[in-house]
A and B are shown apart, each in its own frame.
Chain A
Amino acid sequence: MTTLLGLLALAEGGEHAVEVVTDPGGFVGVLADFAWLIPVVPLLATFAIVLVGKRLPLKGWELAEGAIGFVAIYAVALLIANWVTPMAVEHHIEISRIGSLPGLGDLVLEWGWVVDGLSIMMFTVVGVVGFFVFTYAKGYMEGDVRFTFFFASFSLFAGGMLVLVIAPNLIQLIVGWELVGVASYLLIGHWWEDHDNNAAAIKAFITNKIADVGLFVGVIILGITVGSFRITDVLDAVARHDSALAAVAFWAGLGLFIGAMGKSAQMPFHVWLPDAMAGPTPVSSLMHAATMVTAGVYLVGRMFPLYQTGGMADDVKTIIILAGGATLLLTGLIALVQDDIKKVLAYSTLSQLGYMTAAMGAGAYTAGLFHLFTHAFFKGLLFLAAGSVIHGVHSNNMSDMGGLRRFMPSTYKTFLIGSVALAGIFPLSGFWSKDEILASLSNDASHGGGAAATLVLVLAILGAFITAFYMTRAVYLTFFGEYRGDGHPHESPRVMTYPLWGLAALAAVAGFVNIPGVYTPFTEWLASRIHVMGDHHAGGLNWALALIGTAVALAGIAAGTRLFRRDAATQAERDRFRIPVLYPLLEHKYYFDDLYLNGIVGPIKGPIARFVVWTNQVVIDGVVNAFGAAARFASGYVYGWVDQRGIDLAINVVAAGAGEAGGVVRKAQTGKVQQYAGALFAGAVLLVVGFLIFS
């Protein structure tokens, strides 16, 4: 089978290369050989939906759903295969040689696919959560003006995300990285009649583009230094402590992490994600919670040995853990004061991404990615449930909700399951992954992580309290008390509630795949890679931290219940929550937006751009026009003794040669061009003569 693919590649003009560490063989081997279908099928679906979607009975949804369903089944099949026998297979198809590097050989561009534990885990998340969200979106987007286009963009996202996670080289990773960025731009601005949505879409794209400067620079440094864009080649160089790489690894690692901070919305690049909630809720669920925003964490995981190996980019880890720590606490606090239910969840997502990043910074590859895994299910669920609520009450604001548990029982129950999982309550999935992060931070603090790890551990425990607190607040404001909105809220149709239950089941049980010291298949999945990860995650269950984490979360729930369990009666108590200084600071989101808008974007778009145009029109063109004026002035004197007739004759010959155009042009001529041209040529001839004599 591999030979067949190789021939196919050669026929296309490329060379095909395979690297197999563990050859699964047989049917599983065929599955791995054809894994390129995983990104290709959704991308083809995108084209098909654009071309014929509107003419299909379900308006293109069936193509999108079919493609994502295919991905889900393929991914689960691979997951099971990998569970039985760990595998790591890579395929590369060369598409171009772009230049040789002294001593390193040719730099090659390739497309390819990597099928190993990490990529399979990501396929599963994208495929399974994607399948539920696509199903749900059929109900949610019913009757939308751009129903078909929505699913084209959504499929484009799925394809791009899979191009990203299947990439065995950094160039292809960038391709996927930017494709999801475009899909995000299109979907945030889905309702583009309203310019607020467009502004949010542009903000997301530009913020990511700024961070991408880091990614591009990092990839270029790695590619040139190692002589290859293949991730395995880079990690080989890391493993053999290549001295050339060691000299630049810090900058390369930092560059890649800056890119990751953009995609995974770490401070100070976090500002785009809350605004991205302008998109339809299924988009918020799949892209801005479960998958796309985790691409940055995935990138750090994919390049993990670069950050984990001493003498390479290990110094960047301090930056990673601090970025994660700051994000998990500060954005969590903002979630406390939001009225928009999607904004609560958005800030919660930022905070949880901070947890994942902090875990990566602590050298805990498995812990960070485990939280990515569980978070995808419960946060995807929470967004879909919030979407169901919004669908029912036609408002995003919790001040318009209340008492919905009576009207929307399925939504209420599933939202509650998601909230409890997010708060980290035993035995739901969030408990296991959050505990593993706390344990890893503690482990790092006692194994060379130093003050930074200790600090972030404290922040993470505080964060657990805040998480439980804001989720309790959201549950009470939305589902308890009296209904405060207009109209009659109703439960969503089954096409929306079934996916909720599906995700709720996963949010409940997903944690059992990694019970420290008891049953840890997840750890083994992620370990089936070509390189040894050097993972520092905690081995056994840390009872003390598990108890502290649970106690803190319960305290958060208790505090939230105390403040928000009843409606208007406790308004005075709620006002006490409005702590001076802190509360306005949170309401203004620490003034980041104001700083960026008024301090950076405004000046560039305004005075700086205008200054450049002024330079262009007045300074540079001033010189040009002055030359013209001077030439005209000089020509007045030259006129008398330049053979005007001769030049005119030449021009007439030229004009005749250009056919009848000349006749028309003569009217347009001001009679100056000939003089300029004559003077220039005369000058040129003089210069030639002078030049020849001079030299």
Chain B
Amino acid sequence: MSWFDQGWGLSLTVFLPLVGVGMLLLIPKSQERLIKFVALGFGLASFAASILLLFRFEFGSSEAFQFGTDLTWIPAIGSNYHIGIDGISLPMMVLSTFITVLAIVYSWNHWPDPHNPKAFLALILLLATGMAGTFVALDLILFFIFFELVLLPMYFMIGVWGDRTMIRLPGFKREVETRLYASIKFFLFTLFGSAFMLLGFLAIYFKSDPHTFDIVALHQAGSMGVFDGTYGMWVFAALFLGFAVKVPMWPLHTWLPDAHTAAPTVGSVLLAAILLKLGAYGFIRISLPILPEQAQTWAPAIAILAVIAIVYGSLACLAQTDMKRLIAFSSVGHMGFVMLAISTLTEAGLNAAVIGMVAHGVITGLLFFIAGSMAHRYHTREMARLGGNQTLMPIMAGILAFTAMASLGLPGLAGFWGEFMALLGAFNPLAGLSLGVFRTAMVVGAVGTVLTAGYLLWMLQKVNLGEPSEEWLGKDLHDADRFELAAWVPLVVAILAIGIWPKIVFGATEGAVANLIKTAFGG
């Protein structure tokens, strides 16, 4: 299996979906059944490769980049095909292949208009390559390409299969379809950030000596202070814009509620579960180790923005009437906890960030699945019209209640660890960071957990409880079908398993995180 361990395993994980895209393009559009099986096959193959990597991963040295390869790619600028995974990227990569398979399974009998499974599945597989690629790339140019690769399929997914409700924007004369506004906003916002990110990458390249895009080499250079000073300050700012839009951090988040709400169900799931993580992952993989000094300067600002996001996102949720938009806004708050954790620059913090991302991926992914299935049946997402779902569809309602409990950070379920340890890290941030700022952030963040519990319980009350409204009587509302359960039960199991035995994630991250903190910050 040496070929597998030396780059092929990772390459298969990343590029099998892309091969799948090619295959799909060759199959006539009318062969829907074949198309579905081919897409599922490639999704499963990629997932299987990532699971095999998981089993072969050397957890004892999770700080080392494993299964890697480093091939000359664009010699003119010294950019290599350098890939590899450590304990931080491993959980993220497995999460991305896992969610991709579930998205395909769920799609089996859920096709948003205008149907066209061939194009839809091709886009999912293209996304899968971009997502997994971002987590394994160890070269800035390669990272950038994968990072941008996800933009396009998501843009089409929202723009073509999205919500067609007409909205009128302030300052514009004509009404537009929600999907158009949301997809363009998503595209441009991210592009705006990416432009600065690319700028930052170039600036890093030109400052490094010898010029290189290699992330591992740059980690070394970064820990020796090559990028210190005002120059590094601007570079950090540029990268910050790129990553912060993707996370998204307050106040760059406004694309998120629109994009999530307008996207088809599977699009929302992939957006929430994986795409949001790319930004936070960028902070951990690139900004912190390459620019450690600047990270310490910026940390209090990030912490403040993060707690604003926690409180602001939760308050915004309290005022929502649309179930899907509520779940979308909840991501703002949850990613706020992830960013608060990262800003502490501590082991506890980065461990919290990774488990927080994994947990948010499985929990919010599941919430979007359920919200989509409910909208599919009720043809509305207005919570005021729902109610009594527990009577009408007990299984779906039960899973919704379970997931909402996980989302509000119930101990024993996945969401707790990221939230609690983010607060733990904030009590004791990296030496030299302002205790006043971080301890205030800890208390404000803890208050945010109350608001989080508030909006989720109110959502459950409005949607699940009470007597069903008259308008649903006699309607054919069938409970979760087997494709839905096939997509959801694995997520329920993951939520429970990570909650009871967090070592599933920490086992991979603890060594890698300790090494990162030690190299970058000497702690």
Q: Mark A631-662, 1 if CB is under 8 A from B, else 0.
A: 00000000000000000000000100011111
Q: How far is the CA of A628 from the CA of B425 in the complex (A)?
A: 39
Could you say which residues of chain A place their CB within 8 Å of the CB of B323? none
Closest to A96 in B: B506
Contact B453 A193 (CB under 8 A): no
Q: Is B514 an interface residue (CB 8 A)?
A: yes
Could you say which residues of chain A place their CB within 8 Å of the CB of B421? 98
Q: Mark B149-161, 1 if CB is under 8 A from A, else 0.
A: 0001100100110
Q: Is B519 an interface residue (CB 8 A)?
A: no
Q: Is B221 an interface residue (CB 8 A)?
A: no
Query: Which among A102, A193, A661, A664 is the interface contact of B467 at CB below 8 angstroms?
Result: A193
Contact A102-B188, Cβ < 8 Å, known A213-B450, A216-B446, A622-B170: no
Q: Is A668 an interface residue (CB 8 A)?
A: yes
Could you say which residues of chain B place their CB within 8 Å of the CB of A670? 180, 184
Contact A13 B503 (CB under 8 A): yes
Segment among B311-319, B358-366, B371-379 that sits at the interface with chain A: B311-319
Query: Which among A12, A202, A621, A660 is the interface contact of B254 at CB below 8 angstroms?
Result: A621
Contact A210-B450, Cβ < 8 Å, known A220-B423, A224-B428, A604-B315: yes
Q: Is B420 an interface residue (CB 8 A)?
A: yes
Closest to B320 in A: A613
Could you say which residues of chain A place their CB within 8 Å of the CB of B172? 625, 629
Query: Which among B119, B179, B184, B320 is the interface contact of A673 at CB below 8 angstroms?
Result: B184
Distance of A614 from chain B, by nearest CB (Å) = 9
Closest to B198 in A: A684
Q: Mark A191-217, 1 if CB is under 8 A from B, else 0.
A: 011110011011001100110110011
Closest to A669 in B: B159
Q: How far is the CA of A212 from the CA of B507 in the complex (A)?
A: 28
Q: How far is the CA of A555 from the CA of B98 in the complex (A)?
A: 71
Contact A205-B466, Cβ < 8 Å, known A613-B319, A622-B170, A658-B152: no
Contact A195 B254 (CB under 8 A): no
Query: Which among A192, A610, A658, A681 is the interface contact of B153 at CB below 8 angstroms?
Result: A658
Within 8 A of A (CB), among B229-244: 231, 234
Q: Is A612 an interface residue (CB 8 A)?
A: yes
Query: Which among B24, B315, B467, B510 is the interface contact of A612 at CB below 8 angstroms?
Result: B315
Q: How far is the CA of A138 from the CA of B521 in the complex (A)?
A: 61
Query: Which among A12, A195, A624, A660 is the interface contact of B465 at CB below 8 angstroms?
Result: A195
Distance of A596 from chain B, by nearest CB (Å) = 13
Could you say which residues of chain A place their CB within 8 Å of the CB of B446? 213, 216-217
Contact B159 A660 (CB under 8 A): no
Q: How far is the CA of A210 from the CA of B442 in the complex (A)?
A: 14
Query: Which among B410, B428, B510 is the interface contact of A96 at CB below 8 angstroms?
Result: B510
Could you say which residues of chain A place their CB within 8 Å of the CB of B453? 205-206, 209
Query: Which among A100, A179, A613, A688 is the interface contact of B412 at CB below 8 angstroms?
Result: A179
Could you say which residues of chain A place their CB within 8 Å of the CB of B423? 216-217, 220
Q: How far is the CA of A178 from the CA of B442 in the complex (A)?
A: 19
Q: Is B348 an interface residue (CB 8 A)?
A: yes
Contact A612-B122, Cβ < 8 Å, known A109-B502, A658-B156: no
Q: Is A182 an interface residue (CB 8 A)?
A: yes
Q: How far is the CA of A96 from the CA of B467 in the complex (A)?
A: 45
Closest to A199 in B: B461
Contact A96 B156 (CB under 8 A): no
Contact B502 A680 (CB under 8 A): no
Contact A98 B351 (CB under 8 A): yes
Q: How far is the CA of A329 from the CA of B52 in the complex (A)?
A: 65
Q: Is A687 an interface residue (CB 8 A)?
A: yes
Could you say which residues of chain A place their CB within 8 Å of the CB of B254? 616, 620-621, 624
Q: How far is the CA of A100 from the CA of B517 in the complex (A)?
A: 11
Q: Is A95 an interface residue (CB 8 A)?
A: yes
Q: How far is the CA of A625 from the CA of B171 in the complex (A)?
A: 8
Contact A658-B180, Cβ < 8 Å, known A195-B461, A216-B423: no
Contact B410 A178 (CB under 8 A): yes
Distance of A143 from chain B, by nearest CB (Å) = 18
Query: Which among B160, B425, B461 is the interface contact of A664 at CB below 8 angstroms?
Result: B160
Could you say which residues of chain A place their CB within 8 Å of the CB of B416? 175, 178
Contact A220-B443, Cβ < 8 Å, known A195-B461, A681-B195: no
Q: Is A447 an interface residue (CB 8 A)?
A: no
Contact A98-B506, Cβ < 8 Å, known A217-B442, A676-B188: yes
Could you say which residues of chain A place their CB within 8 Å of the CB of B122? 658-659, 661
Contact A213 B465 (CB under 8 A): no
Interface residues on B, range: 35 or more
SS class of chain A's interface: helix, strand, loop or mixed?
Answer: helix
Q: Is A605 an interface residue (CB 8 A)?
A: yes
Could you say which residues of chain A place their CB within 8 Å of the CB of B123? 658, 661
Q: Is A692 an interface residue (CB 8 A)?
A: yes
Could you say which residues of chain B place their CB within 8 Å of the CB of A430? none
Contact A102 B431 (CB under 8 A): yes
Q: Is A578 an interface residue (CB 8 A)?
A: no
Q: How far is the CA of A523 from the CA of B48 in the complex (A)?
A: 60
Q: Is B37 an interface residue (CB 8 A)?
A: no
Within 8 A of A (CB), among B389-425: 390-391, 405, 410-412, 416, 420-421, 423-425
Contact B184 A202 (CB under 8 A): no
Q: How far is the CA of A621 from the CA of B170 in the complex (A)?
A: 10
Q: How far is the CA of A212 from the CA of B388 in the complex (A)?
A: 30
Closest to A660 in B: B119
Contact A224 B424 (CB under 8 A): yes
Contact A626-B171, Cβ < 8 Å, known A661-B160, A684-B195: yes
Q: How far is the CA of A608 from the CA of B160 in the complex (A)?
A: 36
Distance of B247 from chain A, by nearest CB (Å) = 15
Q: How far is the CA of A629 from the CA of B431 in the complex (A)?
A: 46
Contact A695 B231 (CB under 8 A): yes
Could you say which residues of chain A place their CB within 8 Å of the CB of B159? 665, 668-669
Query: Which among A12, A223, A622, A676 is the interface contact of B424 at CB below 8 angstroms?
Result: A223
Q: Is B116 an interface residue (CB 8 A)?
A: yes
Within 8 A of B (CB), among A208-241: 209-210, 212-213, 216-217, 220-221, 223-224
Could you say which residues of chain B place their CB within 8 Å of the CB of A58? none
Distance of A11 from chain B, by nearest CB (Å) = 13
Closest to B199 in A: A688
Q: How far is the CA of A471 from the CA of B315 in the complex (A)?
A: 44
Could you say which residues of chain B place their CB within 8 Å of the CB of A12? 501
Q: Is A677 an interface residue (CB 8 A)?
A: yes
Could you say which residues of chain B place their CB within 8 Å of the CB of A96? 502-503, 506-507, 510
Contact A695 B465 (CB under 8 A): no
Could you say which residues of chain A place their CB within 8 Å of the CB of B156? 658, 661-662, 665
Contact B312 A102 (CB under 8 A): no
Contact B466 A659 (CB under 8 A): no
Contact A202-B420, Cβ < 8 Å, known A99-B347, A624-B185: no
Q: Is A107 an interface residue (CB 8 A)?
A: yes
Q: How far is the CA of A201 from the CA of B458 in the complex (A)?
A: 11
Q: Is B454 an interface residue (CB 8 A)?
A: yes
Closest to A173 in B: B411
Could you say which residues of chain A place their CB within 8 Å of the CB of B334? none
Contact A202 B427 (CB under 8 A): no
Given contacts A109-B502, A673-B184, 7 further A-B contacts (CB under 8 A): A205-B453, A213-B447, A213-B450, A217-B423, A220-B424, A220-B442, A677-B187
27 contacts between A and B (CB under 8 A): A96-B502, A96-B507, A97-B506, A98-B510, A107-B348, A109-B502, A171-B420, A174-B420, A178-B410, A185-B457, A206-B454, A213-B443, A224-B424, A612-B312, A613-B319, A616-B254, A628-B188, A658-B152, A658-B153, A659-B24, A660-B116, A661-B122, A670-B180, A672-B184, A687-B199, A691-B199, A695-B203
| A→B interface (CB under 8 Å) | 12-14, 95-102, 107, 109, 171, 174-175, 177-179, 182, 185, 189, 192-195, 198-199, 201-202, 205-206, 209-210, 212-213, 216-217, 220-221, 223-224, 604-605, 608-610, 612-613, 616, 618, 620-622, 624-626, 628-629, 654, 658-662, 664-665, 668-670, 672-673, 676-677, 680-681, 683-684, 687-688, 691-692, 695
A-B residue pairs, 7 tightest by C-beta: A99-B347, A684-B195, A99-B348, A609-B319, A96-B506, A175-B411, A609-B318
